[in-house]
Amino acid sequence: MRIALPAAIDARLFAARDPAARVTDLGGETMGTRWSVRAILPAGVPADAVRHAIVARLDGIVAQMSHWSPTSQLSAFNRAPAGRWTILPPDFAHVVAEGLRIAAITDGAFDPAIGRLVDLWGFGPVPVAGPPDDTAIAAARAVSGWRRLAYTPGDRRLRQPGGLSLDLSGIAKGFAVDAIAELLGTLGIVHALVEIGGELVGRGFRPDGQPWWVDCETPPGLSLVPLRLALHGLAVATSGDYRRGAHTLDPRTGRAIQTGVVAASVIHATALAADAWATALTVLGPDAAIPLATDHAIAARIVTVIDCETREHLSPALAAMLAD
């Protein structure tokens, strides 16, 4: 067992914890998966009220950014005519701005504007009969890509260039995890573990003073030394095709990835960034991903299976987190 630790702990939160406190478990469904919260609720904060607030927050995010809901604000943008500017609500605007920033850093390995390609391959809400041909892929790529978007952060306006379809599946779930953690903070809940579909954020401590321990996801059937993470003020996200089958597209080619990556995990201050970076590193493959992660101090683990050989690649930032 290997242990990855944060660079620092919040001594104030540690000292203020109640060793006799009880951990409350909440959960439900959202975004085609499940959400869960493990939290220490302050006196006078009922679990039902917390659950109601979480569900309302998640429903609001889905109403803005779902690629699967025809009534979402994202779907309305995707249907907009060429040249129309849309004023985005703050959450939507934040996700778009961060998505465009990470797209630029990764040279499009992460791209929030490949909805046409996602739908073409049948990874969206409408099933398809089979893989698309070269002509269809070329046509979808011609109207896709983050470089076609114009966004003005001062007034949160996003321009539809014509035919472009946003798909925020690789970043919105991470944002939602962060949003729930922030929501809990506004309710006075400072010790919590939040998860949506395998993306997690840990805040504060358990009652016994331990951090929120989670194991880094490893695809089934692979023999790797387990990696346990102390999620204290940190988030982790994992991208991989072992859960839902091959569904990761390379935005630069419009086709399934050929990098041999079966799982890429990123530990970061926010689940939003961890989510997007995990997708980008999966697309890039270890030869390009590890140098990029090194340059940007991204803590990452990449697992590849090539010619039946399993290899694990750790970025320097993650290696530095490992306890001696």
Report whether 71 belongs to an annotated binding site: no
Query: How far is the C-alpha of 271 from the C-alpha of 276, rounded, in Å?
Result: 9
Angle between helices 90-105 and 172-186 (to 10 degrees): 130
3-state secondary structure at position 275: helix
Query: How far is the C-alpha of 161 from the C-alpha of 148, rounded, in Å?
Result: 6
Q: How far is CA 224 from CA 6, 266, 307, in A?
A: 22, 17, 17
First to last CA, the chain: 12
Report whether 279 belongs to an annotated binding site: yes
Query: How far is the C-alpha of 61 from the C-alpha of 176, rounded, in Å?
Result: 7
Torsion on CA atoms 262, 270, 34, 10, rounded to nearest 10: 120
* Binding-site positions: 170, 275, 279
* Binding-site positions for Mg(2+): 170, 275, 279
